[in-house]
Each structure stands twice: as structure tokens, then as C-alpha cells.
A and B are shown apart, each in its own frame.
Chain A
Amino acid sequence: MTSKVFWGSPHQTQLDAKQTLPAKLDLILEKLELRQRVKGHRVAIKVHLGNDVGYSTVHPVLVRRVVEAVKEGEGKPFVTDLAHSEATAPMRGYTAETIGCPIYPSTGFDEKWFVTHPYKYRQMEEFQLGGAIEEATFLIDLSHVKGHPSCSYAGAIKNLALGCVTGETRSAMHDVCNYEPAFIKENCPDEKTRVAIRESCPYGGIVDDKEDPDGLHLHYINCNQCMICQDVAGSALVIDRESFMAFLKVNVIATKLVLDTFEPGNAVFINVANTLTPVCDCFGFTGLPVLPDAGVFGSNDIIAIEQATLDATDATSIMEKTFPAA
């Protein structure tokens, strides 16, 4: 099956608003026939509203274009995100006045508004999905594309997977990397070696195990597989590919659970690939981008839009001069 992905380039050849991203987003919404599909629907627009002083999330101008399109189609839109991002959203320019619709925390103000979905993956037994998602009948996954230390790339999948669940589920999802222990105590000859392994990581990715004074804990988020530790650790520390991929896979599982709450055809995906920072919007600040802007993408297929976005950003050159020092 070949899915369509509509794309608006970040480039313009004339000094004309019609060639800029908001106008191209409008064209994408037309191609997706959004207005014709949302009549009478309670439409959840999932946007990461960021944290603290970050300003590289999807700009309110773009959010408003989507909200207006839903209203013109006689849908009932609301924007939703995690409670802590929703609570501080006005600091970053997101209010009902600026974007044109209410903003609700996806799992409630105190994370008590959720539905539990049993699903076994590694140590996880269930996923708690936000009530705002459960009660919506149409979904618009409006994502900012950026890098991410846990999964390298973050776009449409990550926006749903981590942004529509409770903190308890989010925490458990991050922990799936640690299902198999990275540190094999039996293979570590002595305390001196254990300390040397811990100190070998230049990125602070190996720390003492809080639950075992003779153990070590690997922070998968910090580990970029430079493998420096392997010269010291030998078989005492396992840097296993599948443990890293577990986080990316659990994101897919959570995304599927979210999408399964909607009737087929009642979800669209928009990726805004500008200000491509190396780390995610959860960090609460905006540094320099490390990849050039790649434009805006829209599709009815979440896998297709992610593939198209990856392909477009893969074809560009990384800007090493803009890397943060740490």
C-alpha cells in the first residue's frame, strides 16, 4: 500500500506570504479534506505545548490555522497535552484566545482522568490513556519534529505515545529499557573495576544502582553507544541494541492504543519540521537547530508521514557548529 504524504517546502522564491508555512499548511489541510471530515466531531488536537521557556514547539500561528479549519468544518476542537505543559502554556503563547479553542490536560488536572488498557510488553502490564483522548472522536496529531536523546528522532509517534498517557505510564515506558540488567555483577571482578566502569562514561550514563550498593545502573537516555565503557567493562556491562529499541517499540505500542480509540479514518497527522533542535521540547528551552528546516508534512498515515519526514531530514547536512557544548 502506498500512502500519500502532502508536503510544504520551507523555501520560498518570492517575498509572498502565500509561499510560507502557514499558507502551505492550509493547502495540506485542504488536500486532507479536513473540513469535510470533522463535522460534529469532538476534535482533539494533540500538540506538545512545551515547558518553561522553550519556544520551538509548534507556533500558535500554525495551531490556529488548524483550529480554524476544524471550526469551519463545524467540528468542536480542543488542544490537549500533559497537565504540566498545559498549566504553563500561556507562558509560551498558547491560550484559548490566541489559538481559538480551549486547552485541556490530556489526563486531567491531577492525572486522574484516564482509561486503563491492558497490554503486556516487557515489564508493562497496562497503559493508562488520557480521558481527553478517550472522549474525542477525531484526532489531529500536530507534532514538532526534533531530536530526542532516548529515541534519536521525535515526531508524530512520540507526540501521541508520551503525550496522551499518565505520568505513571510514561515512567513505565521509559523503564522498558531496563527490563534486562545492563550490569552483570557476576562478571565484574571487584569494586575497583565497578567504579572504573562507572567513571568511564563521559556522558554520565552509568551511575550507582540506588537499590544495590554493589550494582550499576545504565541511563539509556544518556548512552550514545560511544562504547568507551566497553574497554573497561568487558562482559560486566552489556550495551544491547534491543534494550535501546525497546523504548522506540513501546512508543509504537502506546501510539497504536491511542489510535485504536478512534474509528478508522478519524485521525490525521501533521509534522512541522522546523527548528530541528537536538533534544526534545520537554527540556524547557530552545537552542540552535542542528538540521535545516524541512517544511510541513500532512498525511492520514502515521508511518508514512514519519518515513517521509525522516527521509527529508536524512537528506540534509547536520550543523555541527551549532551543537551545544555538553
Chain B
Amino acid sequence: MKVIQREGHPFQWIHGIYKDPYEQLAYGEKMDLGSRQHELIDVLPLEEPVLGVMPYIPAEPDA
């Protein structure tokens, strides 16, 4: 397996430019399956990393 060309989605780079998932979605949109237009909503936006103490994991759960 190797990169054949670098166009389209990275999976197309290895499986072929003629296997186009974006065109598939355009076809799905024409079939009234849904809309490519979307709003991506992060359900838990990352906070700034917090330096902290590694949590203590007891060897015995009830200890």
C-alpha cells in the first residue's frame, strides 16, 4: 500500500481518486438524505492544560 496521488481525501490518496466520498455525499444530498451544510458543535471544548498531581489509583478499590 502506498500513496498513489495526493488529491482529495487522504483515504483517496491510497485507494484512488475515482472513489470520491465527497461526490457520494453530493449524490446523497440530491437523494434528499440530508445536507452537507453543517454546524460543528464541540460538546466539551478543551480547556487550557492544567498541571496537576497524578490521581491516586488505589490498589484495592475500597481502600
List A residues at the B interface (Cβ < 8 Å): 1-9, 11-16, 18-19, 23-24, 27-28, 31, 147-153, 157, 223-226, 239, 241, 244-245, 247-249, 251-253, 255-256, 259, 278, 290-291, 299, 301-308, 310-311, 313-314, 316-318, 320, 323-326
Question: Is the Cβ of B10 less than 8 Å from the Cβ of A14?
Answer: no
Q: Which residues of chain B are near A151, meaning CB under 8 Å?
A: 15, 19, 21, 24
Say if the beta carbon of B43 comes within 8 Å of chain A: yes
The docked-state distance in angstroms from the alpha carbon of A253 to that of B28 is 8
The docked-state distance in angstroms from the alpha carbon of A9 to that of B11 is 20
List B residues at the A interface (Cβ < 8 Å): 1-5, 8-25, 27-29, 31-44, 46-50, 52, 54-55
Contact of A303 among B3, B36, B50 (CB under 8 A): B36
| Closest Cβ neighbor of A247 among chain B residues | B19
Question: Is the Cβ of B41 less than 8 Å from the Cβ of A303?
Answer: no
Whole-angstrom distance from the CB of B63 to the nearest CB of chain A? 19
Binding site of B, secondary structure by majority: helix, strand, loop or mixed?
A: loop
Question: Is the Cβ of A24 less than 8 Å from the Cβ of B21?
Answer: no
Question: Is the Cβ of B49 less than 8 Å from the Cβ of A13?
Answer: yes
Whole-angstrom distance from the CB of A129 to the nearest CB of chain B? 16
A225-B4, A255-B28 are known contacts. Are A27 and B44 too (CB-CB below 8 A)?
A: yes
Whole-angstrom distance from the CB of A23 to the nearest CB of chain B? 8
5 A-B interface contacts by CB (under 8 A): A27-B44, A151-B15, A302-B33, A306-B25, A323-B14
The docked-state distance in angstroms from the alpha carbon of A5 to that of B36 is 11
The docked-state distance in angstroms from the alpha carbon of A153 to that of B29 is 17
Question: Is the Cβ of B39 less than 8 Å from the Cβ of A2?
Answer: yes
Supplied contacts A13-B47, A153-B12, A306-B21, 17 more A-B pairs, CB within 8 Å: A3-B38, A4-B38, A4-B39, A24-B44, A148-B11, A150-B19, A151-B19, A224-B15, A245-B24, A248-B20, A248-B23, A249-B27, A278-B1, A303-B35, A304-B36, A307-B36, A318-B3
A3-B34, A326-B1 are known contacts. Are A310 and B14 too (CB-CB below 8 A)?
A: no
The docked-state distance in angstroms from the alpha carbon of A11 to that of B45 is 10
Residue in A1, A4, A5, A306 with the greatest tally of chain B CB atoms within 10 Å? A306
Whole-angstrom distance from the CB of A275 to the nearest CB of chain B? 14
A2-B39, A310-B21 are known contacts. Are A152 and B33 too (CB-CB below 8 A)?
A: no
Question: Is the Cβ of B28 less than 8 Å from the Cβ of A303?
Answer: yes
